[in-house]
Amino acid sequence: MFSLSLIQHDLPMPPHLLSRPLLDAIKAELERLFLDKVIANLGLCVSVYDIRSVEGGSIHAGEGCSIYRVSFRLLMFKPFNGEVLVGRISGYDDKGLQVSLDFFSDICIPGHLMQYGTVRGPDGRWMLKTDDNDELYLDLDDEIRFLVSSTKYMPIPINQKEGDPPFAPMQIVGSIKGDGLGLLAWWSADEEGEEAAEQ
């Protein structure tokens, strides 16, 4: 789910930060630039892990800031395809479910990647119809275990129409089609039964 990415960057250092120790000032500026931002093909930056090297400090003509070439590592959130995650249902529509991991919310589970027999109920909620004719609803805030099907990095839109959803630079498509996937409540009874049988 998390990985370290080594990055080299020419970092302009604003003059008001130069009164601080150099490494503290560089880390503060890197956090301002990268924290909670998505870098295409690398993922969502969670933190600046460490600073490997700092070179330079030259001041270019006509500029009031010194520029350092910094090599550093970022802790990135980038789940791999096939990874199993647990989140909470944050919304639903005719296309499928929206899921949140608290720190990341651009996760969707489309209808065709849900368990066989999952349909929309009369009130718009998704539900699983079992072989016993039970209707198991997928409600808001329910904990759900899903498999990462793909991660998409969207191009920045040039023109965004009014009424369009907010731009999401990174989107995860999940699947709950398979054993052990779906609401945690669906499987908790089975897991408790297996543990009791083992004891």
Q: How large is the average pLDDT for residues 37-64? A: 88
pTM of the complete model: 0.82
| Of residues 76, 90, 75, 97, the one with CA closest to residue 149 | 97
pLDDT in tens, 129-181: 888 888 889 999 999 999 999 999 988 877 777 777 788 899 999 999 988 99
Q: How far is CA 4 from CA 45, 94, 112, 129, 138, in A?
A: 10, 37, 33, 42, 35
Q: What is the pLDDT of residue 66?
A: 87
Res 107 pLDDT > 70: yes
